[in-house]
Amino acid sequence: MKNWTKHTLITRWVAPALLAAGGLGSAHAADGDANADVECPIKVGVLHSLSGTMAISESTLKDTALMLIKQQNEKGGLLGCDLEPVVVDPASDWPLFAEKARQLLAQEKVDVVFGTWTSVSRKSVLPVFEELNGLLFYPVQYEGEESSRNIVYTGAAPNQQAIPAVNYLMNQVGIERWVLLGTDYVYPRTTNKILEQYLKDQGVADSDIMVNYTPFGHSDWQSIVSRVKAFGSMGKPTAVVSTINGDANVPFYKELANQQISAADIPVVAFSVGEQELSGIDTDPLLGHLAAWNYFQSIDTPANERFIENWHDYTGDDDRVTNDPMEATYIGFNLWVKAVKKAGTTDVDTVIDTLPGLKVDNLTGGTAELLPNHHITKPVYIGEITDNGQFSVVWETDEEVPGDAWSDFLPESAKLKADWVDLDCGHYNTETEECSGQMSDMAEDEE
Amino acid sequence: MRHSNHGPVLTRMLGDTGSLIFVVVLIALTVAVPLCNVYLPEASALHVTDYTVALIGKYLTYALLAVAIDLIWGYCGILSLGHTAFFGLGGYAMGMYLMRQIGDRGVYGNPVLPDFMVFLDWEHLPWYWHGMDIFPFAMAMVVLVPGLLALVFGGLAFRSRVTGVYFAIITQAMTYALMLAFFRNEMGFGGNNGLTDFKDILGYELSADGTRNALFVASGVGLLLGFLIARFIVTSRLGRVLEAIRDAESRTRFTGYRVAYYKLWIFTVSAMLAGVAGALYVPQVGIINPSEFSPIASIEAVVWVAVGGRGTLYGAALGAGAVNFAKTWLTGAYPEIWPYALGILFVAVTLFLPKGIVGLVSQLRRRMRRKEPS
Amino acid sequence: MRTCTPRGTTAAAVLALLAVLALAPCALAQNNGQNEGQNTDSNASEATPATSESPAPANDATVESGRDAQASDEPGDTAEAQAGADGESEPGADTGEDEDSTEYAATIAELADASYPEKRDILNRLVANPNAHTAELLTAFADNRLVVRESDQTIFVAAEERDETYVLRDPITFEAAGKAATRDFEPVRTNVGLRGSIESGQARLRLQADDAETRLAAVETMTEKLDDTAADALRAHRPEESDDAVREAIDRALAINDLNTGDNAAKLAAVERLSGDFNQMVYNRLNNILLLIPEDTEDRDQAQLRAAVAAEVERIDWWRGVYDQLETLFFGLSLGSILVLAGIGLAITFGVMGVINMAHGELIMLGAYTAFVMQQLLPGHVGLALVLAVPAAFVVSGLVGILIERSIVQWLYGRPLETLLATFGVSLFLQQLVRTVFTPLNRSVSAPEWMSGQLHFNDMFALTENRLVIVAFSLAVFAALILVMNRTSLGLKVRAVSQNRDMARAMGIRTQRLDALTFGLGSGIAGIAGVALSQLTNVGPNLGQAYIIDSFMVVVFGGVSNLWGTLVGGLSLGVLTKFLEPHTGTVLAKILMLIFLILFIQQRPRGLFPQKGRAAEGS
Amino acid sequence: MKTPALLESFSDRSRVFDFVNRPAAGAKPDVRHGTILYVEDITVSFDGFKALDALTLYVDAGELRCIIGPNGAGKTTMMDVITGKTRPDAGRAWFGQNIDLLSLDEPGVAQAGIGRKFQKPTVFERHTVHENLELAMAGARGVWPVLLARLSGEQAAHIDETLELVGLAERRHDAAGSLSHGQKQWLEIGMLLMQEPELLLIDEPVAGMTPQEVERTADLLTRLAGKRSVVVVEHDMEFVRSIARTVTVLHEGRVLAEGPMDTIQNDPRVVEVYLGE
């Protein structure tokens, strides 16, 4: 904690110096006094799809954000101001995400945005956030390989989800043969690349790894499941590591059940199937299959209990489940609130400088600390699907795992590191010792 | 009022009041918006924000796509439900150029390979990426790739006289196949994430105000040129032939016109226009991704034309603007109900405004004129 | 042979059944069995309603063939009953009791902080040296009822009470050990692998059962998870076994084991013994032998063994090839039948009426939601609800279809492209309607028993029942539709109108009413397709969009307005895709199919079975 | 296996795509032998039904030929074969001595100099009368020439002339769809004339016309003959009698009888199948 503030100060000397040197009047009072810089109400953008294919996942996060805002307002708001949510619908349309992000930042002049789910939507808004110097909290597990000054990643990086899950299967279940099934897009591709490398490092032979990709919304899993079954019947314990996305999961699990592959035969560990996805599946045939997350609704802590209760009150539906991206939204929101309180302003630059090093409680009894690479520390849980559509935790990491923006298992990526405190760079090349590419960040700081 | 192909070309092309108004308004818009953005203070009521510039710029490219669709649907009766395929291909060609422009400023600092290839362990640049760093070459591809696809696809379809709904449906198949193909990461187009995080174009930073306004003007000029080309075609005798094909294909054939060539020609021209629209679109929205190929997107584009009024060209452009404006506005103002509004709009337009907004306007004008004398 | 129930809960189901049987003679009020642990006065009043309820879930569990594993960890008397029922499993626990029980207790204590592999090891030791309550202990373990007291790492068997308290028992003697607050305890975690081991441990204990069938089942379970421990246990049991069938099963298991561990002669004998056995494990082990013996071995015995094994493997491989092809064919047919189901309604609205109904997918979606609603209305009757959902979905989607026709489509006849636009609007509207009513989340539609198993031909070839049902269902729908079109006056009129509207009208057919009915028919069938799809895929607002393009492709491929074309087209597209898939991958297969379709339409612009006559020229 | 063949066929056909420089019209028919149309042994069958059964027919240059026959005799099918719409199963059809009609498609046939008027008047209803004639006007038919085409004074005069001839000068700027049935028939004849064909195939030209119009049509057709060859299919016996020099009777896809009207009228076979009804 102390360290961070020291670093923050070092990086922050630029702004005051500029002020002093040129009296460049209009520059924001980066460290200025609180009230001068806050315009009431404080606007909070919510950028989640409410229609289209992603609505199924994202609309819940919109509700979560609105609930958190409401609660904050009931507690008296922030810096004496009420928070005002600005909700827009990017309609699962990626260019529309960029447009809506621009609208939030340029027209609505929001102070912070909570939003996006898919990698492509994040990639679509990233240039906008960097250009207009906004602040986005991104709440979903993703493939890593990114760290932007203007984005805070509160979901899991691959080392906070995929690798621990594989470790569990390897060491605790004794899996020797691996099927990596994924939807054909960047998250599964990258995750599987990382896992393949990791497995090979652990001495798994090439012939014991099967990789298969399917298109989005793939619904006919007969042949693939049958091949998995054959692959898994060669005498070695086999598991499926699934990065299958959204809609394709239900038919996949249904086909597993149809071909009577139980979790005891070939367990499936999924990274995109949580409580909410389960609520759309008949879980009876899925008992015992696994998911790796940083949060489960079933984890029994007072904080989580309260959160679930609030959620049920807010939605008026006692059957609504909670899930990992909701917790990530919760953590992100609290981090932002804490940073704003500490900085005494909602000014984006100040908040970004204040954020690293802040710690907030997560819902599972630990703490989430925002690291200099704009990722957070997270505990990893492996849960088995139970018959009430929940997960029972079968394994967890001893302590929180720090999120790694650049994977150590991809040759090019291993050289990079992100550090927004000391290095002020999202992709610092440790071999050449310089911040590769991306002049826009530099340009911004000079302004 | 029918246009006639006598007299000077310009009179012929702009002889129609609607087209004339459209061209004037378009030129005014192309000039005024950047000026209002740059020179008027933010406090001014007439100031146009960056956001609005980007937004209208996007509408302009959509309008060009709509003009391209109207050219074949409104004048030749060819309903393509896969026209965003050409739009997308043009967009990808431009995206590839922009990607190559990043050079070694990507996060991995690789001077040749785009980032998404680096972390997926690609060793060489695929052959079709070569040359895309040269602007003129890339721009040629913007036109040639969609044109070539249209030529091959159209050649196959028109030669064997695939028409009407059959044609509409195989164009859906075409764009659907392209979408699936571009989603594949092995294709080397960035898969689902597509191409994004562009830095600059022709050395100018994309996020700079000047560049944005220049792109806006380019879109305006692009639409204007596209519109004029389309007008030139439809007011020529060729336009008559196209309409003849639309109304009585078989009769046209017996009159000695090789219908398949005409269709193929206009289809290819239209595809090229759509490609240009896509190329102008990409740098302004900052991303190109396979969802541009989605069959639904193509249907939506056809809907713009229907809403605006088919067979007038400017109506198509108007429709594209109107529907997209409605979408922008509703997704912001009424996020929960906008699909209802859009759905009802489509139904209402087809039921009550068979000739679209343009038809409504001329109907009103006729009614006014009828009142005047009395 | 596999059973339909997930294996993890089978044991629980059996126990629950036994519990109910044991309880049956007693009147519900006489809860003598549950004496210890919960006899304070304050609890008594609560305990009574709780126990009077308890047989009910247990009963349910029986009816639903043991789905509800939770039922068995409720009342204390269930455990008692199990103990009674499993009472016979007390072999050799009397000798050297003291030492054994100390070691036994120590073994159990190790569970407190063991990793999963260690737990498996502990389990094996417990089973190898059981006491009277081991079976009970394993059941509790599998049901996650073993807990560790955090203060001193002591293990207990717990039953959760209300008010966050546990009723505790000693894990060795199963004597009551008082009550305590749940927060002081951590569960001893199990995972699915461990539960599998527990199950085979239980099976090993059941080898001593009186009932031959139980023993047979135990042997089969052990064969499935055959390892050295299991093989040793089986070998030890072999001489005691009296039942022929069980002996046979044991011999087979031992032969399989011999393939790995036996000497040359034993292996050779095993190969002969197992000839014609398609079991996967046999195949793997045979292949292993091939790998271990070099092809040009000098040793004559080895060479002989190798030859025998190679011949057997070749034979199995041949059959595998045959079955693989059969399986692929079936996969193709089942995919095709889905395409047919999705497309057949469209063949009527699009093919016969010439209406491009972009909302067709949403009508399918409505059918799927109808299945969901029916299951909500009839909780506990999964299958019945699904069967009733078929006519219900027909009515719902049919009525919506008629509504669309009357309000929109009827004004747009002869303008197919305008219809396309308007119905596209309708599809947006319906999607959002469903989002508003049912939320954007997917809904879960359960599969009935008779649709969630496999039709098991042999160890190599099994067909999934739900696919079989759906193939049969789509054929039935198709047959019914053909009957309607060819044998009823409605069908006659529909065909008449589709060929010549004016003439039909002149002959007194009320074309307006007929249009509405025809559209309703096509839409209703889309609804039925939705019920079938609810068994295979997401029931969500986007369901329709996923199928609309495929539906159009099938209809166009088959030839518009020809129902047989739709059938042949759908099935052949399905089969073709499935035979392509292994070679090209899923995505490429789909792309190739689309390209094939484009080229096909180019060659035969009117589809597989073109309609003849002038009406076809119209569009 | 199939793909290369397909590709080949495509690349093969792609040579035809070279439409840009295609000559506007084909060569003129060679009629030095005095015969302009040779139809020999043409057979067409639909699902086993023989619409034309080894039909043989010759038309002389400058002749006005009437073809009659009961419904289903094969008259329209014969026209379809000649104009490239229907491919016969067997037989030959030549236009003059040098043009193989069976190798041409509809536009090819039209460009070679055969004009066709349909039974039901088919004009471009949404175009004006003037535009209809302009579209039909003989001249380049390639895409680029048409795109850049402008109406020369000579061509405009020609159109005016034709407008006068068909009596539609007053209505030149009206949409063709607004014309009466008879006017449409005339417009279509006018379009035929604009095509400047060597051979006109005219299917029931006077259906739906008033007696005056019929008379004018007869007059027009008679005047055309000599300069061009005309084949008229007609049911109206009065009309046929008024114009015909040679009449061919088709029945069940074959020529039943051929000769001057008087002879035909008295032919017992003809009377039996046709006139007798």
pLDDT tens digits, residue range C90-147? 444 444 556 677 888 888 888 888 888 888 888 888 888 888 888 888 888 888 888 8
Chain B hits for A215, Cβ within 8 Å: 180, 183
Query: Å from C603 to nearest chain B CA?
Result: 7
Sequence-distant (6+) residues with CB within 8 A of B69 are B80, B83, B270, B274, B301, B302, B304, B305, B316
pLDDT tens digits, residue range A233-283? 887 889 999 999 877 888 898 888 888 888 888 999 999 899 988 887 778
Contact yes or no for B5 and D111 at CB 8 A: no
Q: What DSSP state is assigned to residue A83? A: E
How is residue C480 written in tokens?
A: 């019914």
Q: Is A426 on the interface with B (CB under 8 A)?
A: yes
Chain C hits for A172, Cβ within 8 Å: 115-117, 191, 193
How does the average pLDDT of chain D come out, rounded?
82
Average pLDDT (B219-242) is: 94
* CA C225 – CA C231 distance, rounded (Å): 10
**β-bridge partners, A369:** A359
Contact yes or no for B332 and A88 at CB 8 A: yes
Query: Å from B185 to nearest chain A CA?
Result: 7
How is residue D129 written in tokens?
A: 């009368």
Task: Kindly list the distances between the CA atom of residue A3 and the CA atoms of A9, A360, A425, B87, D77, in Å, as whole numbers in the listed order.
Answer: 10, 17, 18, 52, 95
Contact yes or no for B347 and C425 at CB 8 A: yes
Contact yes or no for A257 and C541 at CB 8 A: no
Q: Which residue of C has its CA nearest to B297?
A: C424
Residue B343 has its nearest CB partner, among C428, C556, C588, at C428
* CATH number belonging to domain D24-275: 3.40.50.300
Sequence-distant (6+) residues with CB within 8 A of C6 are A262, A263, A284, A285, A287, A288
Dihedral angle sign, alpha carbons of residues A189, A194, A195, A199: positive
How is residue C531 written in tokens?
A: 């019920």
Kind plus residue range of the DSSP H or E element containing C572: helix C563-584
Average pLDDT (B178-204) is: 88
* CA D77 – CA C249 distance, rounded (Å): 79
Largest separation between any pair of C-alpha atoms in chain D: 65
For chain B, the domains span 9-371
Residue C426 has its nearest CB partner, among B165, B296, B343, at B343
Residue D92 DSSP SS3: strand
* CA D190 – CA A285 distance, rounded (Å): 77
- Percent of chain A at pLDDT exceeding 90: 56
Average pLDDT (D50-70) is: 88
Contact yes or no for C331 and A222 at CB 8 A: yes
Q: What DSSP state is assigned to residue D65? A: E
Sequence-distant (6+) residues with CB within 8 A of C407 are none
Q: pTM for the whole thing? A: 0.84
Task: Kindly list the distances between the CA atom of residue C460 and the CA atoms of B172, B345, C349, C457, C465, in Å, as whole numbers in the listed order.
Answer: 41, 56, 43, 8, 16
Contact yes or no for C421 and B349 at CB 8 A: yes
pLDDT of C517 above 50: yes
- Percent of chain D at pLDDT exceeding 70: 89
Chain C hits for B331, Cβ within 8 Å: none
Pick the CATH number of A162-270 from 3.40.50.2300, 2.60.120.10, 1.10.1660.10, 3.30.920.30: 3.40.50.2300
pLDDT tens digits, residue range C205-255? 888 888 888 888 888 888 887 777 888 888 888 888 888 888 888 888 888
Residue A251 has its nearest CB partner, among C7, C537, C582, at C537
Sequence-distant (6+) residues with CB within 8 A of C115 are A171, A172
User: pLDDT band for position A404 (50/70/90)?
Assistant: very high
* CA C310 – CA B80 distance, rounded (Å): 59
Pick the CATH number of C325-450+465-611 from 1.10.3470, 1.10.760, 1.10.1060, 2.40.160: 1.10.3470
Task: Kindly list the distances between the CA atom of residue B1 and the CA atoms of B18, B317, D126, D128, D175, in Å, as whole numbers in the listed order.
Answer: 11, 20, 11, 10, 10
Q: Is B183 on the interface with A (CB under 8 A)?
A: yes
Average pLDDT (A396-411) is: 91
pLDDT of C18 above 50: no
Judging contact as 3 or more Cβ pairs under 8 Å, the answer for D and B is yes
pLDDT of B373 above 90: no
Residues of B with CB under 8 A from a CB of C: 73, 79, 153, 156-157, 159-166, 168-170, 172-174, 176-177, 180-181, 183-184, 295-296, 299, 302-303, 306, 336-337, 339-340, 342-347, 349-351, 354
Chain C hits for B302, Cβ within 8 Å: 420-421
For residue B63, which amino acid is it?
Answer: A
Per-residue pLDDT at B50: 85
Lowest mean pLDDT among A101-110, A166-175, A412-421, C273-282: C273-282
Residues of D with CB under 8 A from a CB of B: 10, 13-14, 17, 19, 22, 25, 83, 85, 105-107, 110-111, 115-116, 118, 122-128, 131, 134-136, 141-143, 146-151, 173, 175, 191, 195
Q: Which residue of C has its CA nearest to B309?
A: C418
Chain A hits for B106, Cβ within 8 Å: 436-438
Residue B84 DSSP SS3: helix
Is residue C57 reached through a cis peptide bond, with omega within 30 degrees of 0 on the bond before it? no
Chain B hits for D126, Cβ within 8 Å: 243, 247
* CA A42 – CA A347 distance, rounded (Å): 11
pLDDT tens digits, residue range D170-226? 998 999 999 888 888 889 989 988 988 889 998 888 877 788 888 888 888 888 887
Average pLDDT (C396-421) is: 88
Residue with tokens 């006919």, as numbered in its chain: A220
Contact yes or no for C549 and B295 at CB 8 A: yes
pLDDT tens digits, residue range B37-57? 888 888 888 888 888 998 999
For residue B103, which amino acid is it?
Answer: G
- What chains are in contact with D, requiring at least 3 Cβ pairs below 8 Å? B
pLDDT of C78 above 80: no
Strands A381-385 vs A391-396: parallel, antiparallel or unpaired? antiparallel
Q: Is A340 on the interface with C (CB under 8 A)?
A: no
For residue C447, which amino acid is it?
Answer: A
Task: Answer for the pair C21, C84: CB distance below 8 angstroms, yes or no.
Answer: no
Average pLDDT (A55-71) is: 92
Q: Comparing A417 with C414, which gets the higher pLDDT?
A: A417
pLDDT tens digits, residue range C259-289? 878 788 888 888 888 888 888 888 888 888 8
Pick the CATH number of A2-156+302-376 from 3.40.50.150, 3.40.50.300, 3.40.50.2000, 3.40.50.2300: 3.40.50.2300
Contact yes or no for D124 and B247 at CB 8 A: yes
Q: Give the DSSP per-residue string, B171-201.
A: HHHHHHHHHHHHH-GGGSS-GGG-EE---EE
Residue B144 DSSP SS3: helix
Q: What DSSP state is assigned to residue C443? A: B
For chain A, the domains span 2-156+302-376, 162-270
Contact yes or no for B343 and C429 at CB 8 A: yes
* CA B244 – CA B263 distance, rounded (Å): 11
Q: Which residue of B has its CA nearest to A100?
A: B332
ipTM of the shown complex: 0.83
Average pLDDT (A175-185) is: 92
Of how many residues is chain A composed?
447
Lowest mean pLDDT among A30-34, B67-71, C349-353: A30-34
pLDDT tens digits, residue range C290-348? 888 888 878 888 888 888 888 888 998 999 899 989 999 999 999 999 999 989 998 88
Distance from the Cα of residue C538 to its chain's centroid: 15
Average pLDDT (A362-380) is: 94
Per-residue pLDDT at C97: 55
Residue C357's nearest CA partner among C526, C145, C161, C596 is C526
Residue D147 has its nearest CB partner, among B233, B244, B257, at B233
Q: What DSSP state is assigned to residue C449? A: G
Q: Is A39 on the interface with B (CB under 8 A)?
A: no
Contact yes or no for B254 and D127 at CB 8 A: no
For chain D, the domains span 24-275
* CA C406 – CA C404 distance, rounded (Å): 6
Contact yes or no for B344 and C418 at CB 8 A: no
Q: Which residue of A has its CA nearest to C445?
A: A282
Contact yes or no for A88 and B193 at CB 8 A: no
pLDDT of C24 above 80: no
Chain B hits for D111, Cβ within 8 Å: 256
* CA C34 – CA C44 distance, rounded (Å): 11
For chain C, the domains span 1-85, 325-450+465-611
- What chains are in contact with B, requiring at least 3 Cβ pairs below 8 Å? A, C, D
Query: Å from B181 to nearest chain A CA?
Result: 10
| Fold match between domain A2-156+302-376 and domain A162-270 | yes
Per-residue pLDDT at B258: 92
Most confident of B270-284, B338-352, C120-134: B270-284
Contact yes or no for A120 and B192 at CB 8 A: yes
At residue A438, φ and ψ (nearest 5 deg) are: 45, 85
